[in-house]
């Protein structure tokens, strides 16, 4: 009998996938849906970045170097230098999105059955890449009560086994928006040194920090061999569709192994490497306006959410996500109800139920993630919807 | 201790990688190297295909649908229809190059420890994807003596075990250029039916057939559930850097599983999907001129090679590769010598030693693969080099 693989069965579907048919049905009824459920920025891709591709004049759309165009990797070293990260072009492997950097790091550093510890809630697709690599994700639970701060080091240590090979953090965090402090980063450094672990650092949202200072994993002294940076231009320049990321490390053995994975798939996409290279030359103040915009949006949703009875939303220090605890028994049912049975002035709102971001069953049942990727007016309108919805929703806890 | 994974160690490096430093050194000495070692076509990417990207006017480079843009998948159904393949847009998942289609098929249909049978010599990167998926490649040996025809069905059956889940063919073949006959395809059909196996069909070179008829795997009657087509626009439109391919199957269970892998990596590259969509509208005669050009080149190298004493090169029916047996003891040494110690009128030639295309150790030791991706004048010049080299080379068998 033909059958699919166990991993094909184990592979988790997109956590918001279940809700998509309800959103489509709502739209068919003429209801406008405010999408706060996905991290697709509405911010325009910078014109010079798109123009670099549109004005390109090569004749053959050829394979690039498997590690990415040399000119792009050289340019990226300038970008990283400005972020206080000193690397050479040979310490950068350009990947097909941040996604591929995650998969390559898992594949090169962990074997099937090995364990990676990740603070939960976490970006749901880490699970997918873990299934592909046969790696076991071990969660350490962060809590909305203290704003999703790093769990205690004791909590990490309680989960470390001989199979533990790496700790993965996303900083600032998707889905919580939490920005790890210098003290937390230092504690992680000591932990990976003590147990000889890799520190995988997903810094997709590096540019978007509103409180305090972003400590890059590569700023930590004395753990150069341990750190593998997983990066992407997707959020940085609103260039999600380009599928350009990077794996950056000073660990030569890891680089050599990753390079073999990179060679097997030949090269990262050529068009978007041109875009990525041009993006490095954007003026220094490019991010100022974007950051200001995101910060205003964050302020809107945090204020509006916390003003709703029974809602708690910690103030996220970075990224463009916020997690909120709602006074509902089951956030997934509520999100479905929003799309299926509710409207306010012809509108409704689509949220991501937080359950999909937790590994431990049952956690996050009353939580949702909101991506503030709509303009301020729309965000206010979306909050009006949510406020009205929470008044009407029957299955509340208050 | 930090260590990399076993699969990171097992991952095969690019088989031509060892020769690259020698090619670079030759170039530094001022020697012009004719590259017959890689399948990067020199043919220009069609102008309308590049123009579609250059004239695009979107504002946000957004994620596409994880299965690829709906408009592109619809368009692809027209392309496939013209090739006699009737599929719906929902039976197509756009992938990041043909590479990802191969990886997804392995991941979705086979578990770690399962076996896929592949006629050797074969495209070396199948090994890389097999290592990533933990899959064991079981070779069935084709022979240069009969032009790399499909090995006997008995030879396949001798390799089938309870762990065998799939047979993978590349048709027309890379590296041999062999075009499978209708009778061979029919025999494969009966085999996958008898043993309930998947038939993975890599048809990257579908357009480039010079003798006989290309039988698509999806033309075979009664095995719709078994066939997974791995496709790419890379060679078809000289668009290797776009990184756009497709996994096509009528097996709904496989599609559902592959879709989960596709969702984890979010989307295939957006720019090159635009290119791919425009390519479907190229006039019908677009391939005529390209095919004619490749055929002329094939004729040149086959004639020139077979005219050299002790050289045997079967006439390939398709793709843009030819395999040749040379009168040398070790083709890898010979290829290195060509770059390191030889020149003819300021030129030399880089070939791919065939050993890297065989799984069985020791096979292909006197064979090389030639990609005819240079213009006819350069091909003649490259053949002049090779002819002169074989006269001078000390370690010959004749």
Which chain A residues are Cβ-neighbours of B270 within 8 angstroms? 241-243, 272
Distances (CA, A) of A195 to A255, A330, B275, B372: 21, 39, 49, 53
CA distance A170 to A232: 12
Treating both helix axes as pointing N-terminal to C-terminal, what angle do B376-392 and B286-306 enclose, rounded to 10 degrees?
Answer: 20
Rounded mean pLDDT, B75-96: 98
Task: Classify strands A321-325 and A367-371 as parallel, antiparallel or unpaired.
Answer: antiparallel
CA distance A38 to A48: 26
B9 in reach of chain A (CB within 8 A): yes
**Contact criterion met (CB below 8 Å) for A272 and A243:** yes
A55 in reach of chain B (CB within 8 A): yes
B398 in reach of chain A (CB within 8 A): no
> To the nearest whole angstrom, how far is the Cα of A35 from the nearest Cα of chain B?
14
Nearest CB partner across the interface for A196, out of B2, B4, B108: B2
Contact B261 A11 (CB under 8 A): yes
CA distance B23 to B335: 10
Which chain B residues are Cβ-neighbours of A104 within 8 angstroms? none
Most A-contacting residue of B19, B271, B272, B375 (CB-CB within 10 A), to test interface = B271
Cα Rg of chain A (Å, integer): 21
pLDDT at A14: 82
Interface of B with A in 124-153 (CB under 8 A): 125, 128-129, 132, 134
Nearest CB partner across the interface for B132, out of A56, A66, A107: A107
pLDDT at B11: 95
CA distance B310 to B108: 45
Most B-contacting residue of A123, A165, A260 (CB-CB within 10 A), to test interface = A260
Please provide residue A137's backbone torsions phi and psi, each rounded to the nearest 5 degrees. -85, 125
Find, in chain A, the residue whose alpha carbon is nearest to that of B14: A263
Interface of A with B in 312-351 (CB under 8 A): none
Contact A61 B240 (CB under 8 A): yes
Q: How confident is the model at residue A95 (pLDDT cuts 50, 70, 90)?
A: very high
pLDDT at B39: 86
| Strand order across the B352-353 sheet | B321-325, B367-371, B352-353
Q: Kindly compute the dihedral angle of the four CA atoms of residues A9, A13, A18, A19, in this order, to the nearest 10 degrees.
A: 180
Contact A269 B266 (CB under 8 A): no
Asked whether residue B224 carries a pLDDT value surpassing 90, the answer given is yes
Secondary structure in 3-state letters for chain B: CCCCCHHHHHCCCCCCHHHHHHHHHHHHCCCEEEECCCCCCCCCCCHHHHHHHHCCCCCCCCCCCCCCCHHHHHHHHHHHHHCCCCCCHHHEEEECHHHHHHHHHHHHHCCCCCEEEEEECCCCHHHHHHHHHCCEEEEEECCHHHCCCCCCHHHHHHHCCCCEEEEEEECCCCCCCCCCCHHHHHHHHHHHHHHCCEEEEECCCCCCECCCCCCCHHHCCCCCCCEEEEEECCCCCCCHHHCCEEEEECCHHHHHHHHHHHHHCCCCCHHHHHHHHHHCCCCCCHHHHHHHHHHHHHHHHHHHHHCCCCCECCCCCECCEEEEECCECCHHHHHHHHHHCCCECCEEEECEEHHHHCCCCCCCCCEEEEECCCCHHHHHHHHHHHHHHHHHCCCECC
A25 in reach of chain B (CB within 8 A): no
Secondary structure in 3-state letters for chain A: CCCCCHHHHHCCCCCCHHHHHHHHHHHHCCCEEEECCCCCCCCCCCHHHHHHHHCCCCCCCCCCCCCCCHHHHHHHHHHHHHCCCCCCHHHEEEECHHHHHHHHHHHHHCCCCCEEEEEECCCCHHHHHHHHHCCEEEEEECCHHHCCCCCCHHHHHHHCCCCEEEEEEECCCCCCCCCCCHHHHHHHHHHHHHHCCEEEEECCCCCCECCCCCCCHHHCCCCCCCEEEEEECCCCCCCHHHCCEEEEECCHHHHHHHHHHHHHCCCCCHHHHHHHHHHCCCCCCHHHHHHHHHHHHHHHHHHHHHCCCCCECCCCCECCEEEEECCECCHHHHHHHHHHCCCECCEEEECEEHHHHCCCCCCCCCEEEEECCCCHHHHHHHHHHHHHHHHHCCCECC
Which chain A residues are Cβ-neighbours of B115 within 8 angstroms? none
CA distance B331 to A108: 31
Asked whether residue B361 carries a pLDDT value surpassing 80, the answer given is yes
Asked whether residue A148 carries a pLDDT value surpassing 80, the answer given is yes
> To the nearest whole angstrom, how far is the Cα of A388 from the nearest Cα of chain B?
31
Contact A132 B261 (CB under 8 A): yes
Contact A265 B111 (CB under 8 A): no
For the stretch B261-290, pLDDT in tens is 999 999 999 999 999 999 999 998 999 999
Interface of B with A in 214-243 (CB under 8 A): 225-226, 238-243
CA distance A103 to A129: 6
Structural domains of chain A in order of their starting residue, each with its CATH number? 6-44+286-392 (3.90.1150.10), 47-279 (3.40.640.10)
CA distance B376 to B322: 15
Residue from B246, B214, B247 nearest B228 by CA: B247
pLDDT at B13: 87
**Contact criterion met (CB below 8 Å) for B239 and B17:** no
Most B-contacting residue of A174, A266, A278 (CB-CB within 10 A), to test interface = A266
A193 in reach of chain B (CB within 8 A): no
B194 by Cβ neighbours in 10 Å (0-12 / 13-18 / 19+) ranks as exposed
> To the nearest whole angstrom, how far is the Cα of B312 from the nearest Cα of chain A?
30
Q: Cis before residue B172, ω within 30 degrees of 0?
A: yes
> To the nearest whole angstrom, how far is the Cα of B170 from the nearest Cα of chain A?
16
Contact B4 A254 (CB under 8 A): yes
ipTM of this complex prediction, to 2 decimal places: 0.96
For the stretch A251-272, pLDDT in tens is 999 999 999 999 999 999 999 9
For the stretch B47-77, pLDDT in tens is 999 999 999 999 999 999 999 999 999 999 9
Residue from B197, B135, B170 nearest B357 by CA: B170
pLDDT at A16: 74
A84 in reach of chain B (CB within 8 A): no
Rounded mean pLDDT, B71-100: 98
Interface of B with A in 357-396 (CB under 8 A): none
> To the nearest whole angstrom, how far is the Cα of B393 from the nearest Cα of chain A?
31
B110 in reach of chain A (CB within 8 A): yes
> To the nearest whole angstrom, how far is the Cα of A125 from the nearest Cα of chain B?
5
Q: Cis before residue B40, ω within 30 degrees of 0?
A: no
Give Dmax (Cα) for chain B: 65
Q: How confident is the model at residue B17 (pLDDT cuts 50, 70, 90)?
A: confident
CA distance A80 to A99: 20
Which chain A residues are Cβ-neighbours of B265 within 8 angstroms? 96-97, 99-100, 103, 125, 128
Residue from B382, B100, B136, B138 nearest B244 by CA: B100
Which chain A residues are Cβ-neighbours of B233 within 8 angstroms? none
Q: How confident is the model at residue A17 (pLDDT cuts 50, 70, 90)?
A: confident
Contact A13 B263 (CB under 8 A): yes
> Tokens 């999408």 belong to which residue?
A35
> To the nearest whole angstrom, how far is the Cα of B374 from the nearest Cα of chain A?
13
For the stretch A66-83, pLDDT in tens is 999 999 999 999 999 999
Asked whether residue A112 carries a pLDDT value surpassing 80, the answer given is yes
pLDDT at B30: 97
As a whole-number percent, the residues of chain A with pLDDT over 90 amount to 96
B56 in reach of chain A (CB within 8 A): yes
Which chain A residues are Cβ-neighbours of B49 within 8 angstroms? 61
Q: Is the backbone of residue A280 left (phi > 0), alpha (psi -120 to 50) or beta?
A: alpha
CA distance B290 to B297: 11
Contact A44 B59 (CB under 8 A): yes
A97 in reach of chain B (CB within 8 A): yes
Q: Cis before residue B175, ω within 30 degrees of 0?
A: yes
């Amino acid at each position: 009998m033909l059958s699919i693989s166990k991993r094909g069965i184990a592979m988790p579907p997109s956590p918001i996938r279940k809700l998509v048919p309800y959103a489509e049905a709502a739209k068919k009824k003429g209801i406008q849906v405010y999408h706060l459920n996905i991290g697709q920025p509405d911010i325009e891709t910078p014109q010079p970045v798109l123009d670099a591709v549109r004005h390109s004049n090569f004749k053959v759309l050829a394979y690039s170097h498997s590690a990415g165009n040399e000119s792009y990797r050289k340019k990226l070293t300038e970008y990283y230098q400005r972020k206080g990260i000193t690397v050479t072009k040979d310490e950068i492997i350009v990947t097909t999105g941040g996604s591929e950097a995650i998969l390559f790091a898992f594949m090169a550093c962990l074997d099937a059955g090995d364990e990676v510890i990740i603070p939960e809630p976490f970006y749901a697709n880490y699970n997918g890449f873990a299934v592909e690599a046969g790696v076991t994700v071990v969660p350490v639970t962060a809590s909305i009560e203290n704003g999703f701060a790093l769990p205690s080091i004791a909590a990490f240590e309680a989960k470390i086994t001989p199979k533990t090979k790496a700790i993965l953090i996303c900083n600032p965090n998707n889905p919580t928006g939490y920005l790890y402090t210098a003290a937390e980063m230092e504690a992680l450094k000591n932990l990976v040194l003590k147990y000889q672990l890799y520190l995988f650092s997903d810094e997709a949202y590096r540019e978007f920090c509103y409180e305090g200072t972003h400590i890059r994993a590569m700023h930590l002294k004395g753990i150069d061999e341990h750190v593998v940076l997983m990066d992407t231009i997707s959020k940085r320049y609103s260039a999600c569709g380009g599928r350009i990321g990077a794996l950056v490390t000073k660990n030569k053995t890891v680089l050599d192994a990753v390079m073999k994975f990179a060679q097997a798939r030949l090269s990262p996409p050529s068009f978007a490497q041109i875009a990525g290279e041009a993006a490095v030359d954007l003026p220094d103040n490019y991010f100022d306006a974007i950051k200001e915009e995101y910060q205003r949006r964050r302020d809107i949703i945090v204020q509006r959410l916390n003003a709703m009875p029974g809602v708690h939303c910690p103030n996220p220090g970075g990224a463009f996500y916020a997690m909120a605890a709602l006074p509902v028994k089951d956030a997934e049912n509520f999100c479905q109800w929003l799309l299926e049975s509710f409207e306010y002035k012809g509108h409704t709102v689509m949220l991501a139920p937080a359950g999909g971001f937790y590994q431990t069953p049952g956690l996050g049942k009353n939580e949702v993630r909101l991506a503030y990727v709509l303009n301020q007016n729309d965000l206010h309108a979306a909050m009006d919807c949510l406020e009205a919805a929470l008044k009407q929703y029957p299955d509340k806890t208050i």
